[in-house]
Amino acid sequence: MDTGSAGRDPGTDEVIVEARLTEDAIAEGLARLGITHAEADVEILEEGHGGFLGLGGKDAKVRVRRKPDPSRIIRETLHRLVHVLDESAELVEVRERNGRWYGELEADELALVLGRRGRTLDSLQILTSAIVSRKMGKHIRITLDAAGFREKRREALTQMAQVLAREVVRDNVELHLDPMSAHDRKIIHSVLAKNKKVVSESEGQGSRRHVVLKPAEANEQTRKRTVEAYRDGGRGRHPSRARRGHRGRAQRRHAD
Amino acid sequence: MNTKELIEYVAKELVEKAEAVEVKEIKGVKSVIYELTCDPSDMGRVIGKDGRIIKALRTLVKAIASRRGGETVELEVID
């Protein structure tokens, strides 16, 4: 980590301050960083000597460093990443649970920040995790969400998995879905874990890794079929679209 | 910050040798190409495992371009 940053602008993480008294030097350093003592690591580089009647004294020298705070670093990093895309976007909530960080985004142009099937949100998540991990010197797992997108996506994938599972059994086919993120694949596997008629597995490497659904009792007649994993007409893309898509399906089903 | 600076920011945060990071913006009539150069030893950090980082950065850069009226953008890593 960068340590030689003394004398930079007040936006820095570390200052070196000299003052007659050690306490004054610390107070000055905290003030310059705009933080409290609890938020700082203080190192006394040189003790001051009072001297006599202001003569012959020696100034104290301290280094005041901002303690790395994941929550603040996550906010700052995300702000810089998303700013060009939508300057209104910001994290309204950052919290930690079981060693994993969650960030809730708000943005004027939500569809833009989410992207198709949440791809832009996923990208922001990957970049934020990478940068914050590097700054903290350890791996930091971050999930970003906006307007309940992750939950809606989970619902859409759950529903899709159930529809596809019925297709596997009915048509005796092995379905190869489009490549998906590990997170999305896990949702499908967990949905079908209890289904005794269908086996849900992942195949392929890296960005080609995808879900394969097979009949539990596959035979020579079982055929392969590739499906567009998201053929649900874009549900899960964006909350407003998700609702519209859902109604559309429900109506069609009634018409049948 | 603009797109070029955003690419620079991400690359510099991830590499060991930030001073070697350079981004060139090559403007065409309806397209822009960003060429990212870094120290060869930092290549893996910028690209990420299975291209995760560079793909994410590309997605972000394309989202920004789509907002600006759909000029095509490319982000290439040059070694």
pLDDT category, B4, cuts 50, 70, 90? very high
Report d(CA A225, CA A62) in Å as an integer.
Answer: 68
pLDDT of residue A52: 64
Q: Cβ separation of B1 and A80 shorter than 8 Å?
A: yes
pLDDT of residue A13: 83
CA angle A215, A227, A178 (to 5 degrees): 105
Provide mean pLDDT across the span A98-125.
Answer: 93
Q: Cβ separation of B59 and A80 shorter than 8 Å?
A: no
Residues paired with residue B35 on neighbouring β-strands, in sequence order = B24, B76
Residue A57 has pLDDT above 90, yes or no: no
Report which DSSP code applies to A243. H
Select the highest-mean-pLDDT range: A46-55, A136-145, B62-71: A136-145
Q: Cβ separation of A84 and B52 shorter than 8 Å?
A: no
Q: What is the mean pLDDT of chain A?
A: 84
Give the right CATH number for B3-78 from 3.30.300.20, 3.30.565.10, 3.50.50.60, 3.40.50.2300.
Answer: 3.30.300.20
pLDDT of residue A207: 79
Where do the CATH 3.30.300.20 domains begin and end in chain A?
Answer: 70-147
Cβ atoms of A191 and A161 within 8 Å: the answer is yes
Pairing of strands A173-179, A14-19: unpaired
Q: Cβ separation of A207 and B51 shorter than 8 Å?
A: yes
pLDDT category, B64, cuts 50, 70, 90? very high
CATH number for the domain running over A70-147: 3.30.300.20
Of the partner residues B6, B10, B63, the one whose CB lies closest to the CB of residue A120: B63
How far is C-alpha A224 from the geometric centre of its chain's CA atoms? 35
Where do the CATH 3.30.1370.50 domains begin and end in chain A?
Answer: 152-253
Q: What sign for the dihedral angle of Cα A242, A130, A13, A37? A: positive
Residue of A nearest to B60 (CA): A120
pLDDT of residue A47: 86
**Interface probe, candidates A120, A123, A129, A132, chain B, greatest B C-beta count within 10 A:** A123
Pairing of strands A100-106, A90-97: antiparallel
pLDDT of residue A248: 41
Of A234, A245, A78, A230, nearest to A161 by C-alpha is A230
**Residue A192: phi, psi to the nearest 5?**
-95, 5
pLDDT of residue A111: 93
pLDDT in tens, A188-217: 999 999 999 999 999 998 878 999 999 998
Q: Where are the beta strands (DSSP E) in A20-124?
A: 40-46, 60-66, 90-97, 100-106
Instruction: Reduce the DSSP state of residue B21 to 3 states and report it.
Output: coil
pLDDT category, A53, cuts 50, 70, 90? low
Residue of B nearest to A137 (CA): B14
* Nearest-CA distance B77 → chain A (Å): 16
Contact list, B48 vs chain A (CB under 8 Å):
126, 130
Q: Cβ separation of B48 and A130 shorter than 8 Å?
A: yes
Q: Which class would CATH give A152-253?
A: alpha beta
Of A167, A256, A163, A157, nearest to A214 by C-alpha is A167
pLDDT in tens, B6-21: 999 999 999 999 999 9
Residue A235 has pLDDT above 70, yes or no: no
Domain map of chain B by residue range? 3-78
Q: Cβ separation of B64 and A85 shorter than 8 Å?
A: yes
Is pTM beyond 0.90 here?
no
Residue A230 has pLDDT above 60, yes or no: no
Q: What is the mean pLDDT of chain B?
A: 93
Q: What is the dihedral of CA B51, B52, B54, B59, to 10 degrees?
A: 130
Cβ atoms of B19 and B37 within 8 Å: the answer is no
**Interface probe, candidates B3, B6, B46, chain A, greatest A C-beta count within 10 A:** B6
pLDDT of residue A49: 75
Report d(CA A181, CA A189) in Å as an integer.
Answer: 12
Residue of B nearest to A87 (CA): B1
* Nearest-CA distance A106 → chain B (Å): 17
* Nearest-CA distance B57 → chain A (Å): 7
In SS3 terms, A48-71 reads as CECCECCECCECEEEEEEECCCHH
Report which DSSP code applies to A85. T
Q: Cβ separation of B10 and A81 shorter than 8 Å?
A: yes
Select the highest-mean-pLDDT range: A114-118, A143-147, A237-241: A143-147
Residue A76 has pLDDT above 90, yes or no: yes
